[in-house]
Every structure is written in C-alpha cells, then in structure tokens.
Structure 1
C-alpha cells in the first residue's frame, strides 16, 4: 500500500508539467484518410516528438471515445507488473490454461505475459484483471486518467466493448506520458511492455504497437492500432481506429497505420 501511495504521489507531481506539454503542440489536419481506409469511418493521429506537432487524419473522429478493446492490454500489463501480480521474469507471469477450447489455437495452452500479448489472449488478461482487483484497477485508471475511467461494466470485461472508452487523441497523449516516464510505472516494467509490443525492428527503426478488435454479432466492427515508432533517436506516437459493419479489425488498423507511417517517411 505504501508503494502504491508513493507511485501515485509521484504521478500527481509530474502531471501538471506533462499536461502542459501535451497541450502545447501544433496540429496539422489531413483530409485524405479515405485514401488509406476506404469503406471505413475512422481516424489516424500522430505526434512527432522532435517537431512537437500532431498530424491528424479526420480530426473530428480523433476525439470520439470508443472501447479500447485489446489495446488496453498495454496498461493491464503495466498495472499487473507494478502491483506485483506479475514479475518481470517471464516464468513468473505464467498462467495455466483451464482447458476451455477457444477458436484461436494459440489461446489453448498455458500463457506467459509475452505470449499472451503477442497472441492477444483475452482469457489471460481477464485473469490478470481479476488478480489485480477492482480497487487497484480503478486507482490506477484514475491516476493515469485513462479515457472515461469507467470499469463498471465488470472487472473482466470493462475494456471489451463495454463501459471503458478512450479516444485516439487520448491514446496518443497517454503514450507520450508513458514514454516520458510521468506515469506511475517503473522504467523496468515499461521496458517489459515495450519489448512485448515490438512489432518489428529493422534498419534502425523500431515499431511498437498493440491491436484491438471489437466483435459484435459475429462481425468485426471496430479496429485499433496504437503505439510508437522510434527512428534515429526520434519518437512518433500514433493511434488509428476504424469502424464498419464488418471487416474493421485490429489487423486492418495496423495495415492502415503502417501505410500512413510509410507515406510520412517514418517507416
């Protein structure tokens, strides 16, 4: 409890300066999102740290809050590590599979944090949330100011098309604070999560990100990809979300993100 109080106090002391930094940047609006995401409603927002500038495709959509889906695994992981529910050493993050058969074969086995993040194993993170508990989960979401902070939809489901919601702009600004070290998570724990969400590392460019997918009545209706690209010492934070009656999943959002990042000269 004392440790939690200290990290929460540290976050509070950092918050004023961090908030000012987040709000100070210039913004460039782009109106060609359809070029990359034909048939989808959505947005892409990028923050260039070196230039202190946002680039926003479909700006009105960037402030609309939606379910984070599996992008919340970034913070579920961090909270699990910070509270001691998980350990930095992978062997201590092992959760046993209960034998229930899932439609994704990769889910049907014991899971470590790294594997569960890579394969987006929902049951692992539901178990993690249960072990963290409602009180600690709410305290952390309040402290880091995660979207609407609403976990009333249930401890194991609040981020899955339920009550918790966050906008693309909020996703980017939260990642900025995370990488700046102004959130109540230790550098070691942040490095664990960054390693787990690394998508590729080639030619001096490291792409990190987490997908999220909303599934309703057998159809993929919401896709997310949020993360950071590091290139030659510069960092670019981004978030994309897409919506459609079907076909809007995290994999498609990642594809759109990579196409835009490439055209912007980042990848």
Structure 2
C-alpha cells in the first residue's frame, strides 16, 4: 500500500487516544515479574525512534534463548488498542466458527466507498488482510457475534479481554487493550500451535500473514493504525530459531505511519535477522 493511501487512513482514523484503564498497573506488575526472567534493556534501539522523530517501544523475543530485548520497557507493558493487528485473532475465530469456510471465500463489498481504493471491492480473507480492509473484518465480527467472540477472547486470554464498545469496533476504538509483551505472548502461542483453534485455522492464518519468504527466512507480520496508535507485530523464522517482535509508537504526523515498518526493519537488520540493503 502506498504512503499516500496510508496517510489517508491516518486522516480517517486520527482520533484522540487514551491508553486503557489500568495500563500503568499492568506495566508496573510486568516489570517486577521481568526481573526474574532474561529481560535485557537495549537503549541503543532508541536511536531509530529518535531518527524518525517518534516516541514508542520495541520488543524482541528470542524463542531458543528465552530472552527479551527491549527499548522502553514500561511502554512495552502498557496496553493500547490493538487496531488492525487484531485481524490475526479475528481471522482465527472466523475460520474456527465457520462464518467463512476458508481464506478464499468471497464476501461482497457493501458498495460504500471508503478512502482506501483497495477496500472498495469484493474481498476474501486472504486479500482483505493484505490491504487491511476494515469493513471485511467488521463483517466477520458481526457474523461471529459477541457471545462467541468473548468466549475465544477469554480462552486465549487476549489482552484485557474487554470487548466493550461494539462488536464491530471494540478493537478499533472500543475497550480492548493489549501490551506489546502480550502481543508477543499471543504470537508465540500461534507459532507453537498452542491456541484454542483448530490446526486448520491456525495453518491458514499463518499462511495469510506471510510478508516475506526466502530460502533463508520467513517473515510474518501485521501492521495496525488507529487514532494515534501505530503497531507492527510479527515473527521471523530463520536458522532453526524464531524471533518475535512488537513495535508500538505514537502516530502524530502523517510521516509517522511509515516509521512502524522502517524502525522495525532497521532493528531487525541490525540484529542480523533481515538482510541489509546493499
């Protein structure tokens, strides 16, 4: 998606955002717990945020070492609205409940023209997640319904488990909140097939969130943007190991939108997890 289109999203979704209630408590409790695990501060990651002129956090988890590398640990344990990163979870529930039969089932566009041209057409789950078509996933959520959605939210222990604010917008501007650390916890369970969803649903979702695939590595991920909250979460499989990441930052200016991926990729390149551009 072009920067112009991403900027259009920013214009539509720019609303005042307040972190969810109890966010500081979550952060403080988690920081105490993390003293007991392999949790390493990386202030040097901060230069990438400073170069982009944004405030945020980056968290990397090395599965084999059971080690976390973090810039801005308090923020990594503060809850924010998940925005379109929730499409990963929404896809799993939709497949498991059968509201769509597979990632290729077409849902017809409702005819409402939205500011993102790629949204204004029929979509499948596979195409909708690539362009982050909000209307498609709102329709999935309505088909799932509050009762079933809450059931899976509870079973998965997703964020603060609060779907208040409307079945088709609780992850956008409702009451659901999740920390970057909790994002990684969820992705680790996805990678390990340790979620309350069928193996088929998990396999399909893993496939549709692949962003890059080479002989050396596979990168899976999903961006999110809502109000002043920007996300990029995912994981890289390479060299017999898996590395999970979560970037969360404030989106104040239109140019901050692209910083989500730029900062993440710069750190991952610096860590040797992605190839450096010649």
1:34 Cα shift? 2.8
Q: Distance in 1 between matches of 2:238 and 2:152?
A: 30
Q: Distance in 2 between matches of 1:163 and 1:188?
A: 30
Q: Does structure 2 conserve the Cα–Cα contact (< 8 Å) formed by 1:48 and 1:236? A: yes
Q: Distance in 2 between matches of 1:74 and 1:225?
A: 12
The within-5 A match list for 1:38-53 is: 38=50, 39-53=53-67
Equivalent residue, structure 2, for 1:236: 243
Equivalent residue, structure 2, for 1:10: none
Q: CA distance change for structure 1 residues 31 and 89 in 2, over 3 Å: closer, same or farther? A: closer
Over 4 Å off, 4+ runs: 22-25
TM-score with structure 2 setting the length: 0.82
Q: Does structure 1 conserve the Cα–Cα contact (< 8 Å) formed by 2:153 and 2:161? A: yes
**1:70-109 Cα deviation digits (max 9, x unpaired):** 000000000000111122351xx21100111111111111
Structure 2 unaligned blocks of 5 or more: 1-32
Q: Distance in 1 between matches of 2:131 and 2:251?
A: 23
Q: Distance in 1 between matches of 2:158 and 2:57?
A: 19
Equivalent residue, structure 2, for 1:8: none
Q: Distance in 1 between matches of 2:251 and 2:93?
A: 32
Equivalent residue, structure 2, for 1:167: 179
Equivalent residue, structure 1, for 2:191: 179
SS in 2 for 1:177: helix
1:205 Cα shift? 0.8
Q: Distance in 2 between matches of 1:126 and 1:89?
A: 16
Aligned with 2:98 (options 84, 97, 118) = 84
TM-score with structure 1 setting the length: 0.85
**Aligned Cα RMSD in Å?**
1.7
Aligned with 1:199 (options 191, 200, 211) = 211
Aligned with 1:152 (options 161, 164, 170) = 164
Equivalent residue, structure 2, for 1:65: 79
Structure 1 unaligned blocks of 5 or more: 1-21, 216-220
**1:113-132 Cα deviation digits (max 9, x unpaired):** 00000000000000000000
Q: Distance in 2 between matches of 1:248 and 1:228?
A: 25
Does residue 143 in structure 1 map to residue 150 in structure 2? no
Q: Distance in 1 between matches of 2:256 and 2:158?
A: 22
